[in-house]
Amino acid sequence: MDVFSELGITKYINAHDTYTLYGGSRISEETVEAMRQISKHFVDFNELELKVGKAIAQLTGNEDCYITNGAAGALALTAAVTMCGTNSYGYHQLPDVVGDKYEVIIMRSQRNAYDKALESVGAKIVEIGNADETLDYELAGAITEHTAAVAYFENRSYTHGSIPLEKTIAIAHSKDIPVILDVAALLPPKENLNTYSKLGSDFVIFSGGKTISGPQDTGLVFASKKNADLMRRYGAPAHGICRSCKTSRESVVGLYYALKAFLHRDENVFYKECHSRLMRLSELYTGKGYPVRLIDYGPVGQAYERLVIRMPSQEAAVLFHDKMREKHVYVGQERMDILFCPVNVKDDEMESLLSAVSKSLEEMETMD
């Protein structure tokens, strides 16, 4: 069986990052085998969700855990939980709000493409601050009897205009308001899996399909037992608006085994392998006189290196990006820069990647 030939699907080398557009990350053979085993049998999904969640919490040093169909699904479910609490009647009316709590506060500097998931269950977003700064009194003053939660998106790009996370938690908790923290892509380091819970975040959301290398339709929410029980109460397979956050038994078990492998991976070895791949790429560009630099963080602040190449113009960067795409390779492009991330590149793909880069540069040279 060859699904690529039968369906006419193109294979790509992903030298950009763990973006959903490309399929996230690779699933290991061990993870696929666990998914195959459970696919052969039926289970009580509530028992599966409970026991896998507890096992993941124990592995990561958290109190409890709930598995969703991804980080966006986790945002929707956690918003619903903070809006309704134990009010099942109120939950089953969503997205029509019948309770008093329906507002979720977000700093304007953190508005992004994913916060619509909060609104999908009926929450009203209340913005505070501006692109340059958010002041403590703005958060404290925005909290009213209608506030269900404060949503916080930890991202290197948002730091300048945001109240620091620790202070956000302190202000929210002083008024008995929970904090929903989205750190979907902020791995590695693996210590992040419990760092944010220790800081006091009430719901800590990670994607399962990025550097954890679990199934793409999975996400983790670390929380207290009380809050995890509420997520189990309203989450799939229960009926209501968050049934749309359903994932499969195969994906739940696959995420557990992927996470085990992620936790046992030697991160120093991983970092060295990534660095070695980037150095081979760097030599191609420096040999042709292109300015090259390494940055020591991922798109949202993850702890891995990326390579940035400055092209002569934005038009040249777009052209190079397109030529690589024609050769079935994904690379990043931002203004005049080309970006390479090594986390999804296998050793046996390096020669093909280097060849695609050389050919694309040569083609551009012949056009000058």
Per-residue pLDDT of the chain (368 residues; tens, 9 = 90+): 899 999 999 999 999 999 999 999 999 999 999 999 999 999 999 999 999 999 999 999 999 999 999 999 999 999 999 999 999 999 999 999 999 999 999 999 999 999 999 999 999 999 999 999 999 999 999 999 999 999 999 999 999 999 999 999 999 999 999 999 999 999 999 999 999 999 999 999 999 999 999 999 999 999 999 999 999 999 999 999 999 999 999 999 999 999 999 999 999 999 999 999 999 999 999 989 999 999 999 999 999 999 999 999 999 999 999 999 999 999 999 999 999 999 999 999 999 999 999 999 999 988 76
Measure the CA–CA gap between 243 and 77, rounded to whole angstroms. Answer: 9
User: How confident is the model at residue 366, as a pLDDT?
Assistant: 83
Kindly provide the residue ranges of all beta strands, DSSP E only, lying in 275-330, ordered along the sequence. 292-295, 306-310, 329-330
- C-alpha 203/C-alpha 62 separation (Å) is 11
**Same structural domain, 246 and 300:** no
Same domain, 74 and 177: yes
Residue 65 lies in a domain: yes
pLDDT at 367: 77
- From the CB of residue 321, how many other CB atoms can be counted at a distance below 10 Å? 21
Residue with tokens 């026991």: 51
Determine the Cα–Cα distance for residues 127 and 121; give it in Å rounded to an integer: 18
Of the chain, the percentage scoring pLDDT greater than 90 comes to 98
Assess whether 145 and 241 both reside in one domain.
yes
CATH number of the structural domain spanning residue 48: 3.40.640.10
Query: Each residue of 352-365: pLDDT tens digit?
Result: 999 999 999 999 98
- What tens digit of pLDDT does each residue of 249-275 get? 999 999 999 999 999 999 999 999 999
* pLDDT, tens only, 125-175: 999 999 999 999 999 999 999 999 999 999 999 999 999 999 999 999 999
| Same domain? 58 vs 106 | yes
Q: Can you tell me the distance from the alpha carbon of 78 to that of 83, in angstroms, rounded to the nearest whole number?
A: 9
E strands, the chain, in order: 13-14, 64-68, 103-107, 124-128, 147-153, 179-182, 203-207, 219-223, 292-295, 306-310, 329-330, 332-334, 337-340
| Domain-located, residue 15 | no
Q: Are residues 219 and 321 in the same domain?
A: no
Same domain for 216 and 118: yes
CATH number of the domain bearing residue 286: 3.90.1150.10
Do residues 305 and 253 both lie within one domain? Answer: no
Structural domain contains residue 36: yes
Euclidean distance between CA atoms 95 and 123, whole angstroms: 8
- Expressed as residue numbers, the domain containing 298 is 266-367
Inside any domain, residue 17: no
Clarify whether residues 62 and 138 are in a common domain. yes
Paired residues of 310 in beta bridges: 337
Domain-ending residue, one of 238, 264, 290: 264
Sort strands 103-107 and 147-153 into parallel, antiparallel or unpaired: parallel
Residue 307 lies in a domain: yes
Q: Is residue 108 located within the same domain as residue 250?
A: yes
> Do 169 and 256 belong together in one domain?
yes
Residues 54 and 198 reside in one and the same domain: yes
